[in-house]
């Protein structure tokens, strides 16, 4: 739709003999991309804003067609259907699989892409929600084990020779839903760099990339949703002010179903096969584009949600003494805990939200 608009506009400029280049100071393009099961909004600034915005869309679509678990033709679906046999994989999938292995290890297994069979048993893959029996979960839990995933890198660096391959354990499958959008944000950094984009804001559904600062020189403002009021987009626990950063939120309010008055959400604790019940309702991880990555923030936000407040803060402290990333935790008992050792962001609490605000050190 937007492509069509841009095409019409270009044609008009051409026909009227006008070839004015985009004003580098004011040029801006905003596109919406429906992909990866969410509505994304990408706004780019600068001379090459239009080229960069559509290159970003192309890259996201390329990733979606490789990484989707519901598209039977995707690389991930082929890997999941291979029954433990080795399958050739692209560079993107190879990178994501090895990053996922690293994040699993670092988080003591809280982040684990092989949680897929358990997530499916709850109906989160096909939106046919149900509570699986304990017998079924007991049968599936041995499959939740990322140490059974092996990646055999290509020995040929030219790219023309044999590709890298990956192999799952028998009966295993992977779901990249907790890392794919973060990885996509990392790829957008490359697109923006290549197109010399001075500033951009990309919201990839709970995964925000703030590139540079705002056109008026102020930081980008990113609201953190109040998990108690997920349908009211103006209900915020506070606003983050960030520059050159990723900010990724995982919460129990994003996808869930209710049965007999109890809520079952989509973040599964690999240790139990059940939706994580850790006392947190959301976790926001913020890291700089220079030192952290979108994939890391995405994986950590999911893992720290499962760990709960105490373990999440211990993990935060253990990573470069709290300076690798910063955190905003929202707890079930009505607190917002901010952990930011290096003033990576300014956080403006919403005093009307009813939460009690604390800082962790
Ligand atoms: P969202 O994708 O809603 O932004 P997350 O990044 O937290 O939220 O990812 C949740 C998705 O990741 C789930 O829908 C499921 O597909 C998958 N998933 C669930 N539990 C885990 C887990 N422990 N480790 C890795 N992936 C998970
Ligand atoms: Mg995640």
Per residue in 57-113, pLDDT tens?
999 999 999 999 999 999 999 999 999 999 999 999 999 999 999 999 999 999 999
Tokens for 344? 């990576």
pLDDT at 101: 98
The answer to whether 146 touches 101, Cβ cutoff 8 Å, is: yes
Distance 284 CA to ligand 1 centre (A): 14
The ligand with the least distance to the CA atom of 303 is: 1
- 18: CA distance to ligand 2 center in Å? 46
How far, in Å, CA of 53 to CA of 40, rounded?
Answer: 12
Kindly tell me if the per-residue pLDDT of 2 is higher than 80.
no
Burial of 122 (0-12, 13-18, 19+ CB in 10 A): buried
Mean per-residue pLDDT, 160-179: 94
Query: Which two three-digit tokens encode residue 133?
Result: 């029996």
Residue 283: count other Cβ atoms within 10 Å of its Cβ.
Answer: 28
Q: What is the mean pLDDT of the chain?
A: 92
What six digits make up the tokens of 168?
């799952």
Nearest CA owner, ligand 1 atom 19: 267
> What is the Cα–Cα distance from 318 to 159, expressed in whole angstroms?
38
The number of the ligand nearest the C-alpha atom of 306 reads 1
Alpha carbon distance 315, 312 (integer Å): 5
Atom of ligand 1 nearest to the CA of 111: 24
Grade residue 268 by pLDDT with cuts at 50, 70 and 90: very high
Cα-to-centroid distance, 183 and ligand 2 (Å): 10
Mean pLDDT in residue range 160-185: 95
Distance 23 CA to ligand 2 centre (A): 37
Tell me what pLDDT residue 125 has: 84
Write down the residue that tokens 């907790």 correspond to: 178
Phi and psi torsions of 324, nearest 5°: -70, -40
Residue-wise pLDDT for 8-66, tens only, equals 333 233 333 334 556 766 889 999 999 999 999 999 999 999 999 999 999 999 999 99
To the nearest 10°, the Cα dihedral for 331, 332, 335, 341?
Answer: 0
pLDDT of residue 21: 57
Query: Please, how many CA atoms are within 13 Å of residue 255, restricted to the half-sphere of its CB?
Result: 21
Residue 287 has pLDDT above 90, yes or no: yes
Query: What is the 306 CA–ligand 1 centroid distance (Å)?
Result: 10
39: Cα separation from own chain's centroid: 13
pLDDT, residue 139, reads 97
Strand 335-339 vs strand 356-359: parallel, antiparallel, or unpaired? parallel
Ligand 1, residue 269: give the atom nearest the CA: 23
Average pLDDT over residues 119-125: 94
Residue 5 has pLDDT above 80, yes or no: no
- Averaged pLDDT for residues 223-238: 96
The token duo for 236 is 């915020």
Which pLDDT belongs to residue 302?
98
Residue 307, CA distances (Å) to 109, 271, 359 in order: 10, 11, 18
pTM recorded for the entire structure: 0.93
- pLDDT value of position 22: 66
> Which residues hold their Cβ within 5 A of ligand 2, which is an ion?
178, 250, 298, 301-302
Q: Which residues have C-beta atoms less than 6 Å from ligand 1?
A: 111-113, 115, 119, 124, 175, 177-178, 206, 250, 254-255, 266-268, 270, 298, 302, 306
135-to-121, 138, 180 alpha-carbon distances in Å: 12, 5, 31
Work out the percent of the chain whose per-residue pLDDT is above 90: 88
127: confidence class by pLDDT, cuts 50, 70, 90? confident
* Residue located via tokens 């679906």: 77
């Amino acid at each position: 739709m937007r492509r069509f608009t841009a095409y019409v506009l270009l044609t008009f400029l051409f026909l009227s003999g006008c070839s004015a280049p985009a004003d580098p100071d004011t040029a801006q393009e905003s596109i919406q991309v429906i992909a990866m099961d969410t509505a994304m909004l990408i706004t780019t600034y600068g001379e090459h804003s239009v080229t960069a915005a559509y290159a970003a869309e192309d890259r996201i679509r390329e990733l979606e067609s490789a990484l989707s678990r519901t598209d039977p033709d995707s690389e991930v679906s082929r890997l999941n259907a291979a029954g433990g046999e080795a399958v050739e994989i692209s560079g993107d999938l190879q990178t994501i699989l090895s990053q996922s292995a690293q994040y699993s290890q670092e988080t003591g297994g809280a982040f684990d892409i092989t949680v897929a069979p358990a997530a499916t048993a709850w109906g989160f893959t096909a939106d046919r929600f149900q509570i699986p029996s304990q017998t079924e979960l007991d049968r599936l839990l041995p499959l939740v084990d990322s140490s059974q995933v092996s990646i055999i890198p290509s020995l040929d660096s030219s790219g023309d020779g044999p590709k890298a391959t990956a192999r799952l354990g028998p009966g295993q499958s992977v779901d990249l839903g907790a890392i794919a959008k973060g990885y996509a944000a990392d790829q957008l950094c490359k697109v923006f760099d290549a197109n010399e984009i001075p500033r951009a804001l990309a919201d990839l559904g709970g995964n925000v990339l703030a590139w540079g600062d705002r056109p008026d020189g102020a930081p980008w403002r990113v609201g953190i949703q109040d998990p108690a009021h997920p349908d009211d987009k103006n209900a915020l626990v506070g606003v983050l002010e960030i520059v050159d950063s990723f900010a990724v939120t995982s919460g129990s309010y994003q996808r869930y179903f209710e049965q007999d008055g109890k809520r079952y959400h989509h973040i599964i604790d690999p240790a139990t096969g059940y939706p994580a019940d850790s006392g947190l309702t959301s976790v926001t991880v913020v890291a700089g584009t220079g030192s952290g990555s979108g994939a890391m923030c995405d994986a950590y936000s999911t893992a720290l949600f499962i760990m709960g407040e105490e373990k999440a803060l211990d993990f935060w402290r253990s990573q470069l003494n709290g300076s690798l990333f910063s955190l905003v935790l929202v707890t079930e008992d009505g607190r917002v805990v901010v952990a930011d050792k290096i003033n990576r962001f300014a956080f403006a609490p919403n005093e009307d939200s009813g939460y009690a605000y604390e800082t962790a050190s």
